[in-house]
Amino acid sequence: MTPGPAAPGSPPPAPGVDQAALPAGHTVFEYRIEKALGGGGFGITYLARDINLELPVAIKEYFPGELTIRAADQTVRVRAPEGEQQFNWGLERFLDEARALASFRHPNIARVLRYFRDNGTAYIVMEYESGDPLKRWLARQPALDLTSLLKVIHPLLDGLEAVHKLDFLHRDIKPDNIYIRADGTPVLLDFGAARRTTSGRDLTNIVSPGFAPFEQYHSQGRQGPWSDIYSLGAVMYWMATGEKPVESAARVQHDSLPAAQAIGDAAAFGAGLLRAIDWALAPDEKRRPQSVAELRAALVAAGPASTALPAQVRRPPGDTRPGPDSDVLAFAASAQAVPGSSADPARRNVLGTVMFLNLVAYARHPIDQQVALKERFNELITKALKGVPQASRIVIDTGDGAATCFLGDPEEALQSALLLRSLLTQKYGQMLSLRIGVHLGPIRIVFDVNQRVNVVGDGINVAQRIMDFAQPNQIVVSRAYYEVISRITDNANGLFIPMGPHLDKHLRSHDIYAVVEPQTRPAQAPAHHSEFANTASFATLSSLTPEVLADIESELARSIGPMAKVLIKKALPRSVGAQGLRELLAVSIPDPRAREAFVHPKSQKTQPVGLPGAWSGSRPDPSRHARPDLSQPISRPHSGTISGSISGRSVPVSSPWFTAAQLSQLERALSQVIGPLARMLVKKQVARHTSLEALREALAGEIDRAADREKFLAATQKLP
């Protein structure tokens, strides 16, 4: 497109975008256009803002200029009836590619967030990458050498390989479509020309003079991974020589392009790199590297070891040597939730605690300030995580923050968040602000295309949505995390305040809790000896032998993974019977069926006999009675085995203030609305109340939904 005049009152359009671009301030769906970033034969790219989240995004509009015009109401219209079929065919291809590209999750590829139809056309919404175009970044470099060039090219090769493995081609790699983020990492942009190689149709001709291979000049050309390799080779040629390559169409009959080896600085870049560039730029596609792996191998051989990717990235098939993340995977595999196969050792479904961090207003700062903010942030998070074993955590850079998945003790996430907030306020005050969200849920540990460990699944997705509800320097947690942490932590009372249900943009409701500032927490009431007046001797009640604990841990680990051992260790002082322990731990199992099967196993083990005046939720004094040594594997016989255990049925809830019939009816009514947690909640509240009405109200307070609360109160209105 040729530049045209700007609309009155709007910023001038970007080069290559004419007056057909949407004006600044125009709203498309839930996005407000700020300015046009660029355009081509198939569409226009805009900088826009998500109205709901107040975040910048990039939007690609399907707008084939030869077929369409912009109407007065900003809709897209086909110029002539005979172009209708071609427009519709292109529109469907545009949406097909958007669906496929949305599946790409790679740190060096601009990520597609969503796509939709509007204004008579379609739009793709992508993450907005702040940074410098490669041209501008390169102009700021005092000198370019082999190491700095390969630090840009190697990550781009990774991203390109991910695209090719899904049978896609980018088809428009050029300096304008490569950005360098504030942290120095490159990202490949603009997949508007990308096409699937297995579509069965001839690929259309896409040409960026100097960077497009000859096979893209005509629809019958043999396009494949080697086509993108030519374009990336042209980018390297331009970086190493300072010259734009001659158009490939002019090189077919007589190749007039000076070889990189002839005009490149061998002292700065090395002869090996220059040879690899010339190889990638061969006019005949059959004489080029046929895959990213071939070009990478040539670059690795040409470059110093420090610029090459880690050895585990390029393992040959069948090579099972442990990589740097093997300790994390071994930790997850030790008690995986879903049995894995030997052919796929890197995929693990486990229960994890995810702490999602976001730098407030990060994208609004200039580039140099973003770099400084990220450096400070990295320093703080390193200090906050220093005490967490590396084998039990995975840290992922999210661009404007970080996500940390804790595979062990869920308290580590809360402690790390509190420490991070404390370090932040002490060192930077209002200069640097974070939003922190914590959630406990199912996650999957996977390897990306470069064999680096990553985390996906509902656990990390919900943590991000929970974080969105936080105020600057506020920590919010999900109900799932609160339920677990409040049952395994002694000082949980007064630590959280409920904030009620919040609806995210996907219309999913989340009950969240805010972590109270330390200086505003109420003082803990001193413990009274009378609290344990009716607690029986642990040695008399307990049937929790190492063998029983091993069975419970094994069952729990099948549902939640390696966190099982930690939760059992923390819950053990709060229960003296196997059934009570199961009920206490069941809250950590996300799946309702698995939770029910865990609470009521088919082959129920023997339980301790009920004793008058005692209940299985009573908490003994661990300093007075021997317990199994949880620092040793539970499956081994304990040297100090517990004596006095009695087999029989579980210890019932009893109280001098309520009859057995009253407690039974309360538990039955509560279980109809919240499930198997009812028994545990009744036990907890019985110890705190002496009035039947107060007990009913306390139990009703444990029910989230108002309708369920009314149902419970109505069912328990007339107790015997």
Over 70: is that where the pLDDT of 199 sits? no
pLDDT at 23: 92
The token pair at 128 is 């907005």
Over 70: is that where the pLDDT of 60 sits? yes
First to last CA, the chain: 83
Check whether residue 121 and residue 144 sit in a common domain. Answer: no
Among the residue ranges 199-203, 328-332, 500-504, 550-554, the one predicted with the least confidence is 199-203
575-594 tens-digit pLDDT: 667 777 888 788 888 777 78
Residue 619: which region, alpha, beta or left (left: phi > 0; alpha: psi -120 to 50)?
A: beta
Over 70: is that where the pLDDT of 4 sits? no
Among the residue ranges 139-148, 175-184, 696-705, the one predicted with the least confidence is 696-705
Check whether residue 402 and residue 486 sit in a common domain. Answer: yes
703 falls in which pLDDT band (50, 70, 90)? confident
Residue 329, CA distances (Å) to 176, 337, 444, 569 in order: 39, 13, 11, 22
Question: Distance (Å, rounded) from C-alpha 341 to C-alpha 334?
Answer: 14
Question: Does some domain include residue 568?
Answer: no
Question: Distance (Å, rounded) from C-alpha 127 to C-alpha 109?
Answer: 10
Check whether residue 164 and residue 267 sit in a common domain. Answer: yes
pLDDT at 195: 62
pLDDT at 328: 57
Question: Does some domain include residue 3?
Answer: no
Among the residue ranges 59-68, 381-390, 598-607, the one predicted with the least confidence is 598-607
Check whether residue 420 and residue 280 sit in a common domain. Answer: no
Question: Distance (Å, rounded) from C-alpha 113 to C-alpha 389?
Answer: 34
65-103 tens-digit pLDDT: 889 999 999 999 999 999 999 999 889 888 877 876 776
523 falls in which pLDDT band (50, 70, 90)? low
**Which CATH number characterizes residue 123's domain?**
3.30.200.20
pLDDT at 478: 92
The token pair at 311 is 């050895």
Check whether residue 168 and residue 37 sit in a common domain. Answer: no
Over 60: is that where the pLDDT of 297 sits? yes
The token pair at 34 is 């700020």
Task: Decide which of 520, 546, 576 is a domain's last residue.
Answer: 520
Contact 717, 690 (CB under 8 A): no
Task: Decide which of 470, 490, 520 is a domain's last residue.
Answer: 520
pLDDT at 18: 56
Question: Does some domain include residue 396?
Answer: yes
Contact 183, 371 (CB under 8 A): yes
638 falls in which pLDDT band (50, 70, 90)? very low
For residue 350, count CB atoms less than 10 angstroms from its CB and return exposed for 0-12, middle for 13-18, buried for 19 or more.
buried
Question: What is the average pLDDT value for the chain, to the nearest integer?
Answer: 74
Question: Distance (Å, rounded) from C-alpha 60 to C-alpha 56?
Answer: 13
**Which CATH number characterizes residue 499's domain?**
3.30.70.1230
pLDDT at 321: 34
Check whether residue 401 and residue 424 sit in a common domain. Answer: yes
Contact 196, 167 (CB under 8 A): yes
367-394 tens-digit pLDDT: 667 777 777 888 888 888 887 887 788 8
Give the SS3 label for residue 258. coil
**Which CATH number characterizes residue 158's domain?**
1.10.510.10
Cα radius of gyration (the chain): 31
Residue among 33, 29, 20 at smallest CA distance from 115 = 29
pLDDT at 256: 87
Residue 308, CA distances (Å) to 299, 450, 696 in order: 8, 12, 66
Single-letter code of the amino acid located at 14? A
The arithmetic mean of pLDDT across residues 300-304, rounded, is 76
- Kindly state the DSSP code that residue 90 receives in the 8-state scheme: H
Check whether residue 270 and residue 331 sit in a common domain. Answer: no
Question: Does some domain include residue 636?
Answer: no
pLDDT at 84: 92
Check whether residue 120 and residue 223 sit in a common domain. Answer: no
Higher pLDDT, 716 or 533: 716
For residue 445, count CB atoms less than 10 angstroms from its CB and return exposed for 0-12, middle for 13-18, buried for 19 or more.
buried
Could you list the residue range(s) of the whole structural domain that residue 493 is in?
A: 326-520
Among the residue ranges 270-279, 412-421, 437-446, 680-689, the one predicted with the least confidence is 680-689
The token pair at 64 is 């084939």
Over 90: is that where the pLDDT of 645 sits? no
Question: Does some domain include residue 55?
Answer: yes
Question: How many structural domains does the chain have?
Answer: 4
Higher pLDDT, 391 or 179: 179
23-46 tens-digit pLDDT: 999 999 899 999 998 776 678 989
Rounded to 5°, angle at Cα 132 from 130 and 136: 165
17 falls in which pLDDT band (50, 70, 90)? low
Residue among 360, 500, 371 at smallest CA distance from 435 = 360
Contact 187, 106 (CB under 8 A): no
Q: Which long-range contacts (CB under 8 A, 24 or more apart) does 206-209 make?
A: 206/171, 206/172, 208/172, 208/174, 209/247
Question: Does some domain include residue 153?
Answer: yes
Check whether residue 489 and residue 405 sit in a common domain. Answer: yes
Contact 649, 670 (CB under 8 A): no
Other CB atoms within 10 Å distance of the CB of residue 519: 5
pLDDT at 26: 94
The arithmetic mean of pLDDT across residues 334-361, rounded, is 62
User: Largest Cα–Cα distance in the chain?
Assistant: 101
Question: Distance (Å, rounded) from C-alpha 177 to C-alpha 108?
Answer: 12
Question: Does some domain include residue 12?
Answer: no
Among the residue ranges 36-45, 105-114, 132-141, 343-352, the one predicted with the least confidence is 343-352
Question: Does some domain include residue 340?
Answer: yes
Question: Distance (Å, rounded) from C-alpha 444 to C-alpha 561?
Answer: 11
Check whether residue 266 and residue 362 sit in a common domain. Answer: no
Check whether residue 93 and residue 233 sit in a common domain. Answer: no
Task: Decide which of 106, 127, 148 is a domain's last residue.
Answer: 127
Q: What is the pTM of this model?
A: 0.44
Single-letter code of the amino acid located at 275? R
Check whether residue 176 and residue 241 sit in a common domain. Answer: yes
435-469 tens-digit pLDDT: 899 999 888 777 654 456 777 778 888 898 889 89
205-236 tens-digit pLDDT: 566 788 888 888 876 778 889 999 999 999 99
